[in-house]
């Protein structure tokens, strides 16, 4: 027939391989060709040869694509390495990668593991189902060593815990198959845990009914002794659009029973679903906390404050609107003449808070100010704040929690409402497939091409394994969602196309919702106390004064003067008049609105005297100069004003603008000397450089 002939008409390999005829293993399986093949067997041989050639073309295309792809990867990887070296910062994912490269390419890993093995006798791993193969390879030599020494007198052990039913992180390298592979490799007997110590009896029993016979290897759970009866309700809606309204009504019913809104959690499949649900709840006056809102930058008041700071620096009026809306004031009503682009972020935030006056009881403001204190300039602060994940102050947020199923893993809530997916399930569109061996580690990477599974048996097996893994991951996600509840759970599912269809979920009620007092009574009621006047910012060490003769009320102007003096010294590129002039200009830009002209002249005079002091200037001869050197010693962070390195020793210099508190000055420098001496192994001396108004007075400390 014309159609039968057209299937084999000349065409490019991509078009030809997409024809459905090649889905058959043999033309004898195709009714349009069977009779011709039986008459002329050579047709079958040619068909098999065409499939072989198409498979070869696909393998060649795969090699070309992967060659170029890995070329791009090399460029990207090198750019990441260069960026890490430049910034001194490694993303979390890169820590494991670079550790692996360091151990297997750059140093003697045998020696390192020997040292570690001598120190650690027992290895205990939790959440093992989320372990990646790369993470396991880092631990494998230590585990191997433990098992190689089995039977010896010294007690050593390897113990790991996990639940493969809760493995959700395949997308970032977690391989649940590793759990059983490790047990098989080392001959470990896996002990099943069959008691649920979280959920009520009805929740446990209903979850068993849903997953028995559906999830491979599922072990039915028992409720703990004394578990409450609890409830499970499945509500069915005709359209996806009804999911939000039905969820809101369910929250209202729980609230009417006396359930605290803080005891309710709503689980969704995507962040977008969560945002829609939060909007629906807010429209009905129900307080909610979106999981992403647990980061400080998502709190409306804090975000408005940061945006106002951006307005002051960049001048975009839209950035000021949120702050103005909160305060009910206009820009013309606010005096912003005090602002300078050279001010520190924490100083600007403090002034804004005092200007607008609505943050007095907000503990999150303290967190924002603590974060801001680490930055010297506004642009850097704004950039870092935009990508930050600063946790909110405990107990400062209130409402029903909305989060994704992935975000709920490891958590529990008194009452849980699980929503069906509002959109269709996503299909796997990744261009790459991964073939794992029995270890399991990646043995081969394949390039996805339409119809290739009918031409390449290895490819077909990898595709099938991927489908099975994806289906298992979906079941794992449902299991996590349906096992978060303590007292009771409500599931709201779609009538058609529900993600819950795979476990045979049907509408119904098990148990009864009862009126009850909230179980989430916060530990410790809010306490009232005296207002705290914030006046000291930054990370400089400020020892608490002892109650002795030196204990006096803090002189804030003296602190400001000393800070400005230190800043000027820090801005000096060298200890010469030209550098001093530049540094004084920078100091005036930053502190000019806070210091009097007399104070600024005083700073200039003291530093000019310093440059004229021959005894001090001789200290720089033959020395490497390090300013504002940060170091960590015995769990404490220290900041050295000036560190001079000589061939045979170090000299620690600490600037002081006043001799008040000399004993504390000496103790502070002594701790710096001890830290440098311990960290470097070199002789270290200490000196306090008193930059007094009337003279420069260096004080060498006898610390031997």
Strands 442-447 and 413-419: unpaired
Distance CA 456, CA 52 (A): 9
The arithmetic mean of pLDDT across residues 573-581, rounded, is 90
pLDDT band for position 70 (cuts 50, 70, 90): very high
Distance CA 604, CA 100 (A): 53
**Residues 632-636: contacts with CB under 8 Å, at least 24 apart:** 633/674, 633/675, 633/678, 633/679, 634/675
Distance CA 502, CA 525 (A): 46
Which pLDDT score is estimated for 334? 82
Tokens of 239: 């359209």
Q: Are 572 and 580 in contact (CB under 8 A)?
A: yes
Strands 264-268 and 195-196: unpaired
Which pLDDT score is estimated for 151? 52
Which pLDDT score is estimated for 172? 72
Query: What's the mean pLDDT when you consider all of the chain?
Result: 84
Which pLDDT score is estimated for 654? 92
Q: Are 263 and 519 in contact (CB under 8 A)?
A: yes
Q: What would the pLDDT profile of 459-484 be if each residue is shown by its tens digit?
A: 999 999 888 888 898 999 999 999 99
Which pLDDT score is estimated for 217? 85
Distance CA 2, CA 180 (A): 54
Please determine, for residue 539, whether its predicted confidence score (pLDDT) is greater than 50. Answer: no
**Residue found under tokens 């992935």:** 406
Q: Are 254 and 513 in contact (CB under 8 A)?
A: yes
Distance CA 331, CA 347 (A): 20
Distance CA 306, CA 297 (A): 8
Which pLDDT score is estimated for 51? 92
pLDDT band for position 112 (cuts 50, 70, 90): low
Residue 49: Cβ-neighbour burial (10 angstroms; 0-12, 13-18, 19+): exposed
**Residue found under tokens 């709190």:** 299
Q: What would the pLDDT profile of 25-37 be if each residue is shown by its tens digit?
A: 888 888 888 888 8
Please determine, for residue 387, whether its predicted confidence score (pLDDT) is greater than 90. Answer: no
Q: Are 264 and 251 in contact (CB under 8 A)?
A: yes
pLDDT band for position 292 (cuts 50, 70, 90): low
Which pLDDT score is estimated for 545? 43
Please determine, for residue 528, whether its predicted confidence score (pLDDT) is greater than 50. Answer: no
Q: Which helix (H) or strand (E) holds 508?
A: strand 508-511
Which pLDDT score is estimated for 541? 45
More confident: 290 or 78: 78
The arithmetic mean of pLDDT across residues 434-452, rounded, is 85
Tokens of 298: 């998502």
In this prediction the pTM is: 0.62
Q: Are 640 and 670 in contact (CB under 8 A)?
A: no
Q: Which helix (H) or strand (E) holds 626?
A: strand 624-633
Which pLDDT score is estimated for 697? 92
Distance CA 627, CA 653 (A): 10
Distance CA 384, CA 377 (A): 11
DSSP 528-569: --PPP-----SS---PPPPSSTT-----HHHHHHHHHHHHHH
Close Cβ partners of 661 (under 8 Å, ≥ 6 residues apart): 545, 550
**Residue found under tokens 């100091």:** 587
To the nearest whole percent, how much of the chain has pLDDT over 90? 37
Please determine, for residue 17, whether its predicted confidence score (pLDDT) is greater than 90. Answer: no
Q: What would the pLDDT profile of 397-431 be if each residue is shown by its tens digit?
A: 688 999 999 888 889 999 999 999 998 777 777 89
The arithmetic mean of pLDDT across residues 226-247, rounded, is 94
Which of 204-213, 251-260, 543-552 has the weakest average pLDDT? 543-552
Which pLDDT score is estimated for 119? 66
Please determine, for residue 521, whether its predicted confidence score (pLDDT) is greater than 60. Answer: no
Distance CA 565, CA 693 (A): 12
At residue 158, φ and ψ (nearest 5 deg) are -130, 120
DSSP β-bridge partners for residue 488 = 231, 415
pLDDT band for position 322 (cuts 50, 70, 90): confident
Please determine, for residue 396, whether its predicted confidence score (pLDDT) is greater than 90. Answer: no
DSSP β-bridge partners for residue 233 = 490, 509
In 3D, which of 675, 676, 252, 230 has the Cα closest to residue 485? 230
Close Cβ partners of 162 (under 8 Å, ≥ 6 residues apart): 125, 126, 127, 128, 129, 130, 131, 179
More confident: 148 or 517: 148
To the nearest whole percent, how much of the chain has pLDDT over 70? 89
Distance CA 419, CA 500 (A): 10
Residue 613 is classified by DSSP as: -
Coil, helix or strand at residue 592: coil
Distance CA 567, CA 606 (A): 14
Which pLDDT score is estimated for 552? 40
Which pLDDT score is estimated for 534? 45
The arithmetic mean of pLDDT across residues 241-251, rounded, is 95
Which pLDDT score is estimated for 207? 96
pLDDT band for position 81 (cuts 50, 70, 90): confident
Please determine, for residue 395, whether its predicted confidence score (pLDDT) is greater than 60. Answer: no
Half-sphere exposure for 111 (CA within 13 Å, toward CB): 4
pLDDT band for position 536 (cuts 50, 70, 90): very low
Which pLDDT score is estimated for 147? 82
Strands 222-223 and 195-196: parallel
Which range is most confident: 92-106, 111-125, 246-260, 567-581?
246-260
Please determine, for residue 531, whether its predicted confidence score (pLDDT) is greater than 60. Answer: no
Q: Widest CA span of the chain, in angstroms? A: 116
Q: What would the pLDDT profile of 323-348 be if each residue is shown by its tens digit?
A: 888 777 787 788 888 888 888 999 99
């Amino acid at each position: 027939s014309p159609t039968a002939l057209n299937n084999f008409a000349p065409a490019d390999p991509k078009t030809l391989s997409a024809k459905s005829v090649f889905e058959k293993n043999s033309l004898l399986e195709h009714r349009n060709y069977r009779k011709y093949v039986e008459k002329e067997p050579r047709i079958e041989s040619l068909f098999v040869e065409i499939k072989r050639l198409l498979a070869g073309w696909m393998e060649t295309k795969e090699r070309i694509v992967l060659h170029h792809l890995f070329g791009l990867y090399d460029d990207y990887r090198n750019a990441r390495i260069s960026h890490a070296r430049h910034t001194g910062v490694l993303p979390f994912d890169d820590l494991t990668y670079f550790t692996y490269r360091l151990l297997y390419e750059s140093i003697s890993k045998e020696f390192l593991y020997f040292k570690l093995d001598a120190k650690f006798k027992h290895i205990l791993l939790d959440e093992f189902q989320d372990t990646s193969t790369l993470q396991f390879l880092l631990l494998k030599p230590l585990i191997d060593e433990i098992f190689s020494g089995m039977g010896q007198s010294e007690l050593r052990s390897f113990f790991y815990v996990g639940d493969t039913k809760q493995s959700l992180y395949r997308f970032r390298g977690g391989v649940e198959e590793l759990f059983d592979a490790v047990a098989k490799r080392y001959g470990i007997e896996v002990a099943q845990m069959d008691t649920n110590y979280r959920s009520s009896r009805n929740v446990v029993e209903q979850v068993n009914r849903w997953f028995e016979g559906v999830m491979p290897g599922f072990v039915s759970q028992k409720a703990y002794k004394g578990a409450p009866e609890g409830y499970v309700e499945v509500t069915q809606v005709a359209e996806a659009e009804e999911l939000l309204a039905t969820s809101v009504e369910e929250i209202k019913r729980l609230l009417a029973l006396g359930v605290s809104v803080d005891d309710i959690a709503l689980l969704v499949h995507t962040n977008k679903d969560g945002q829609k649900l939060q909007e629906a709840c807010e429209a009905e006056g129900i307080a909610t906390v979106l999981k992403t809102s647990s980061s400080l930058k998502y709190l409306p008041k804090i975000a408005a404050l940061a945006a106002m700071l951006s307005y002051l620096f960049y001048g975009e009026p839209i950035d000021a609107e949120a702050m103005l809306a909160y305060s009910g004031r206009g820009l013309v009503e606010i005096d912003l003449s005090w602002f300078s682009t050279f001010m520190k972020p924490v100083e600007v935030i403090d002034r804004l808070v005092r200007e607008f006056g609505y943050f007095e009881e907000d503990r999150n403001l303290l967190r924002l100010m603590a974060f801001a204190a680490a930055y010297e300039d506004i642009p850097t602060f704004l950039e870092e704040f935009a990508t930050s994940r600063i946790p909110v102050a405990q107990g400062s947020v209130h409402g029903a929690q909305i989060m994704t199923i992935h975000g709920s893993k490891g958590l529990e809530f008194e009452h849980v409402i699980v929503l069906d997916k509002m959109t269709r399930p996503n299909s796997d569109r990744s261009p790459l497939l991964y073939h794992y061996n029995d270890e399991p580690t990646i043995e081969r990477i394949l390039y996805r091409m339409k119809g290739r599974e009918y031409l390449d048996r290895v490819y077909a097996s990898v595709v099938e394994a991927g489908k099975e893994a994806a289906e298992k991951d979906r079941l794992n996600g449902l299991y996590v969602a349906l096992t978060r509840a303590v007292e009771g759970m409500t599931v709201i599912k779609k009538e058609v196309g529900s993600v819950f269809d795979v476990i045979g979920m049907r509408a119904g009620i098990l148990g009864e919702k009862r009126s009850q007092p909230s179980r989430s009574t916060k530990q410790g009621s809010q306490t009232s106390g005296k207002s705290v006047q914030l006046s000291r910012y930054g990370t400089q060490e400020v020892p608490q004064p002892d109650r002795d003769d030196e204990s006096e009320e803090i002189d804030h102007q003296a602190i400001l003067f000393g800070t400005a003096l230190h800043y000027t010294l820090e801005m000096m590129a060298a200890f010469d008049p030209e550098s001093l002039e530049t540094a004084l200009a920078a100091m005036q830009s930053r502190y000019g609105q806070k210091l009097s002209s007399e104070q600024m002249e005083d700073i200039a005079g003291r530093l000019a005297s310093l440059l004229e002091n021959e005894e001090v200037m001789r200290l720089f001869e033959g020395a490497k100069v390090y300013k504002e050197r940060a170091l960590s010693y015995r769990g404490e962070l220290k900041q050295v004003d000036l560190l001079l390195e000589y061939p045979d020793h170090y000299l620690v210099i600490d600037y002081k603008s006043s001799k008040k508190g000399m004993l504390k000055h000496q103790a502070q420098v002594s701790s710096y000397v001890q830290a440098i001496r311990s960290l470097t192994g070199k002789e270290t001396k200490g000196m306090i450089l008193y930059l007094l108004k009337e003279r420069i007075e260096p004080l060498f400390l006898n610390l031997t």
